[in-house]
């Protein structure tokens, strides 16, 4: 469904639920991680892009202190007072709304009651960050309706706090940041320590971003995530004995790593090597994209997959199969797992004139090898949160 058709649909849903037309409709996109695999919590560098799947939020202010939020995806309406924003154990989708409002209020924003209708087409659980899209849609809707001043990075931090501290899911800042600050036909380079960022050209007319869902839900349980994080912290601690000013793995150059890597236990060495060289790939990506060298960029994505599979060990049979099938398909320039790993999606760069053949080949090839028909999404790089209808 085209964006304007979806906007019309969410307006109609708002009118049906609340009996009036919304004052405004905003959108906030999902995202794909192009490079920067598990570098965020190592205070490193990431390169995501906002994509053409998003969450729409239609809203109007109320004359009381009540928030009424309708989810078209769950066909459910919840209401709660701004004076007492508490976690909902039943309608858990609403906790993303509640968390954003809670931390906006805590930051000093004078909130007003609001009616809102939310509708998204970012697949849940696929690693494309439907949660950040909801958070930024709600935050940007409130900012648009009330008119309070807040920078894009600050609103992204509100969304991250909502997810980490209210919903209770541990994430870095990348997802919310690119959902709020992405730019059409650009990737976003982000320094996860300083929050410095740069828009990097990624023209998606001739080359499409194709996301292939293995249909295996991500199995990165808390213990696996926590273990990888602890291993990285241990690597940084050990390397700091020989390299000055190492606080996190982002502070270790590949040259210094090569000097001291043999002093590390094998597993710790492998984890560190992935993160350190992945940071180098992200930094290199800025150079090659700024001169339009998409072949070199594609090689960096391929290298990322091998590293995530062999060194960080976050791939799985389904992801490796999807990568193999994708790399052999017409128009494919590269393929890698994207996101946390252990399931979810791969991302490929595909030449536009062969996208249809790529999709047909991958769908058939993956189904033949696994017995599962994948979902495949052809995406472009899009703007971050924006007003789509006043």
> Are 37 and 46 a contacting pair, CB within 8 Å?
no
Instruction: Tell me whether strands 197-201 and 186-191 are parallel, antiparallel or unpaired.
Output: antiparallel
- Residue 107 three-state SS: coil
Average pLDDT value for residue range 13-37: 97
pLDDT band for position 54 (cuts 50, 70, 90): very high
Compute the distance between CA of residue 335 and CA of residue 342 in angstroms, rounded to an integer.
16
**Residue 280: predicted pLDDT:** 98
pLDDT of 222 reads 60
Confidence of residue 167 (pLDDT cuts 50, 70, 90): very high
Distances in whole angstroms, Cα of residue 304 to Cα of each of 17, 162, 168, 298: 46, 30, 29, 10
Q: Residue 354's pLDDT band (boundaries 50, 70, 90)?
A: very high
Contact call for residues 173 and 160 (beta carbons, < 8 A): yes
Q: What is the pLDDT of residue 221?
A: 52
Among residues of the chain, what percentage have pLDDT more than 70?
98
Per-residue confidence band for 18, with pLDDT thresholds at 50, 70 and 90: very high
How high is the pLDDT of residue 343? 87
Q: Is the pLDDT of residue 219 over 60?
A: no
Structural domains in the chain?
Answer: 3-202+385-389 (3.30.230.10)
In eight-state DSSP terms, residue 343 is S
* Better pLDDT: 341 or 86: 86
Q: Please, what is the average pLDDT of the chain?
A: 95
* Tens digits of residue pLDDT in 100-135: 999 999 999 999 999 999 999 987 776 778 899 999
CA-to-CA distance for 372 and 364, rounded, in angstroms?
A: 9
Task: Count Cβ atoms below 10 Å from residue 320 Cβ, excluding itself.
Answer: 15
Instruction: State the pLDDT confidence band at 260, using cuts at 50, 70 and 90.
Output: very high
CA-CA distance, 240 to 370, in Å (whole number)? 45
Question: β-strands 336-338, 197-201: how paired?
Answer: unpaired
Residue 81's DSSP bridge partners are 66
Which residues are the active-site residues? Answer: 175
> Which whole-number Å values give the CA distances from 59 to 24, 169, 290, 310, in the listed order?
6, 26, 39, 47
Sole residue written with tokens 């091998």? 306
DSSP output for 291-340:
TT-HHHHHHHHHHHHHHHHHTS----HHHHHHHHHHHTSTTB---EEESS
Confidence at residue 206, expressed as pLDDT on a 0 to 100 scale: 93
Looking at the DSSP assignment, which residues form a beta bridge with residue 59? 24, 116
Question: What pLDDT was estimated at residue 203?
Answer: 93
> Quick one: pLDDT at residue 172?
82
The rounded percent of the chain whose pLDDT value lies above 90 is 90
Residue closest to 125 by CA, chosen among 309, 317, 343: 343
> Would the pLDDT of 364 be above 80?
yes
| 128 vs 188 pLDDT, higher one | 188
d(C-alpha 372, C-alpha 189), whole Å: 35
| pLDDT tops 70 at residue 218 | no
How does residue 191 score in pLDDT terms, banded at 50, 70 and 90? very high
pLDDT digits (tens, 9 = 90+) for 63-80: 999 999 999 999 999 999
pTM of the model: 0.93
Average pLDDT over residues 201-213: 95
């Amino acid at each position: 469904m085209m964006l304007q058709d979806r906007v019309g649909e969410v307006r109609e849903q708002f009118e049906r639920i609340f009996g009036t037309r919304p004052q405004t409709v905003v959108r906030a996109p999902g995202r794909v991680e192009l490079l920067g695999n598990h570098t965020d919590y190592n205070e490193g560098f990431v390169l995501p892009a906002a994509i053409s799947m998003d969450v729409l939020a239609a809203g109007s202010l109320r004359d009381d202190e009540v928030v009424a939020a309708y989810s078209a995806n769950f066909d459910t309406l919840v209401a709660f007072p701004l004076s007492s924003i508490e976690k909902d154990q039943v309608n858990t989708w609403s906790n993303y709304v509640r968390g954003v409002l809670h931390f906006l209020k805590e930051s000093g924003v004078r909130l007003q009651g609001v009616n809102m209708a939310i509708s998204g087409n970012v697949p849940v659980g696929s690693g494309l960050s439907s949660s950040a899209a909801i958070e930024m849609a709600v935050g940007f809707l409130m900012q648009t309706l009330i008119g309070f001043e807040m920078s894009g990075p600050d609103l992204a931090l509100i969304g991250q706090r909502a997810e980490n501290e209210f919903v209770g899911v541990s994430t870095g800042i990348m997802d919310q940041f690119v959902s709020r600050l992405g730019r059409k036909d650009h990737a976003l380079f982000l320094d996860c320590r300083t929050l410095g960022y740069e828009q990097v050209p990624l023209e998606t007319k001739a080359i499409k971003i194709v996301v292939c869902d293995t249909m295996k839900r991500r199995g990165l349980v808390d213990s696996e995530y926590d273990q990888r994080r602890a291993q990285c912290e241990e690597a940084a601690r050990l390397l700091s004995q020989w390299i000055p000013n190492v606080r996190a793995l982002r502070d270790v150059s590949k040259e210094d790593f090569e000097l001291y890597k043999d002093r590390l236990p094998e597993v710790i060495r492998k984890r560190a090597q992935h993160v350190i060289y992945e940071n180098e790939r992200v930094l290199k990506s800025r150079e090659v994209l700024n001169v339009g060298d998409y072949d070199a960029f594609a090689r960096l994505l391929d290298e990322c997959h091998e590293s995530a599979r062999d060194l960080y060990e976050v791939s799985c049979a389904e992801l490796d199969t999807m990568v193999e099938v994708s790399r052999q398909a017409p128009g494919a320039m590269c393929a890698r797992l994207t996101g946390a790993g252990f399931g979810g999606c791969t991302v490929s760069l595909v030449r536009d004139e062969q996208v249809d053949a790529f999709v047909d080949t991958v769908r058939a090839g993956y189904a033949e090898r696994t017995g599962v028909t994948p979902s495949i999404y052809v995406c472009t790089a899009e703007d971050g949160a924006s007003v789509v209808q006043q």
